[in-house]
């Protein structure tokens, strides 16, 4: 049985207390109020899945008034109406005002307990559906926000790629790419290495590494786990390639286990743009060599 309380509203104290005690014995939590104003004051402090109210409450707002106020205050609250009128028209009118169901006096306790049980089940379903709706909305908003962030990332990296066309050296070309990587993934250490003609490495940017301990450039085909420096919990050595040609390698390391993976979509896009920038520089240098000119330092 749900732990959310029912609110019982009736100006007849004897009947109200009788119903309250009976429903409590049936396993429901019940709070009660002698009039509509007191009921609304209670509703301002908490959610009641079901409100049981008499229609005829002299000296203040009627049950009809309460039903309308409840629907405006908490649309997920269901109203069960108790009416002493013999006219079915009055009961039907209460449903038109927004009541979930009605019970006519005189009634048996088992009858109202059954109606309240159905109302509580229905209220639980409404609450569950609202939870699903909120979860769906949150998921959609998260997807929209992720797409917006990815669009921004694409534009930033495209700008870096365009700016790289003015560079004639790997250092100035890669500096803004590495600054973007550092801001996006927050690694503890990062470095750029260039392959040498003798199948070794030369550092270009970033923190130093034990170069002799690194795998030979020819062996670096795919990203490798490489977080062996003390204090690093996780690290990767990632090749930047154009086809079969190794252009450079990037090392990123983190002081803790992270969700970062080399196949992360954002990192893959960063990698592809950095590779395109390096490849563009390599083509310029090749073109200059073909013209018999000396490349600028």
Q: What pLDDT is recorded for position 296?
A: 47
What percent of the chain has a predicted confidence (pLDDT) above 90? 34
Within a 13 Å sphere around the CA of 203, how many CA atoms are in the beta-carbon half?
11
pLDDT tens for each residue of 259-271: 788 998 889 999 9
pLDDT tens for each residue of 11-20: 888 888 988 9
Residue 295 pLDDT > 60:
no
Q: What is the CATH number of domain 165-290?
A: 3.30.450.40
pTM score above 0.85: no
pLDDT tens for each residue of 86-124: 567 777 778 888 888 888 877 888 888 888 889 998 988
User: Concatenated DSSP letters for 71-96?
Assistant: HHH-TT-EEEEEE----HHHHHHHHH
Where b means 16+ CB within 10 Å and e means fewer, 208-246 reads ebeeeebeebeebeebbebbeeeebebbbbbbbbeeeeb
Residue 257 pLDDT > 90:
no
Question: Any idea which fold 6-132 has?
Answer: Rossmann fold (3.40.50)
The mean of the pLDDT values for the chain is 86
Q: Which residues contact 288 (CB under 8 A, 6 or more apart)?
A: 294, 295
Residue 165 pLDDT > 50:
yes
Q: What pLDDT is recorded for position 150?
A: 82
Domain ranges of the chain: 6-132, 165-290
Q: Helices 109-164 & 13-25, crossing angle to 10 degrees?
A: 70
Q: What pLDDT is recorded for position 58?
A: 72
For residue 11, the SS3 value is: coil
Where b means 16+ CB within 10 Å and e means fewer, 93-128 reads bbeebbbbbbbbeeeeeeebbebbbebbeebeeeee
CA distance linking residue 106 with residue 40, whole number of Å: 26
Q: What pLDDT is recorded for position 1?
A: 44
Q: What pLDDT is recorded for position 275?
A: 95
Residue 230 pLDDT > 70:
no
């Amino acid at each position: 049985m749900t732990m959310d309380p029912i609110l019982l509203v009736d100006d007849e104290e004897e009947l109200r207390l009788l119903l309250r005690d009976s429903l409590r014995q049936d396993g429901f939590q019940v709070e009660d109020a002698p009039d509509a104003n007191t009921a609304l004051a209670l509703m301002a402090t908490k959610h009641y899945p079901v409100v049981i109210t008499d229609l005829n409450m002299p000296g203040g707002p009627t049950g009809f008034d309460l039903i309308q106020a409840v629907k405006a205050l908490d649309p997920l609250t269901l109203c069960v109406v108790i009416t002493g009128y013999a006219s079915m028209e009055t009961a039907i009118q209460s449903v038109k005002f927004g009541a979930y169901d009605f019970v006519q006096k005189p009634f048996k306790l088992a009858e109202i307990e059954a109606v309240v049980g159905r109302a509580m089940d229905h209220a639980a379903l409404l609450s569950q559906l609202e939870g699903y709706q909120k979860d769906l909305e949150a998921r959609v908003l998260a997807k929209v926000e992720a797409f917006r962030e990815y669009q921004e990332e694409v534009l930033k990296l495209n700008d870096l790629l365009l700016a790289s066309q003015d560079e004639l050296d790997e250092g100035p070309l890669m500096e803004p790419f590495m600054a973007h990587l550092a801001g996006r993934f927050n690694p503890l250490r990062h470095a750029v290495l260039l392959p040498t003609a003798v199948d070794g490495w030369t550092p270009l940017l970033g923190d130093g590494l034990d170069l002799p301990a690194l795998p030979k450039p020819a062996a670096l085909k795919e990203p490798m786990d490489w977080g062996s420096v003390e204090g690093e919990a996780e690290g990767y050595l990632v090749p930047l390639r154009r086809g079969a040609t190794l252009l450079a390698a990037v090392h990123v390391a983190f002081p803790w286990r992270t969700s970062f993976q080399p196949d992360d979509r954002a990192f893959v896009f960063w990698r592809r743009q950095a590779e395109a920038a390096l490849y563009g520089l390599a083509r310029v240098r090749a073109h200059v060599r073909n013209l018999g000119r000396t490349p600028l330092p």
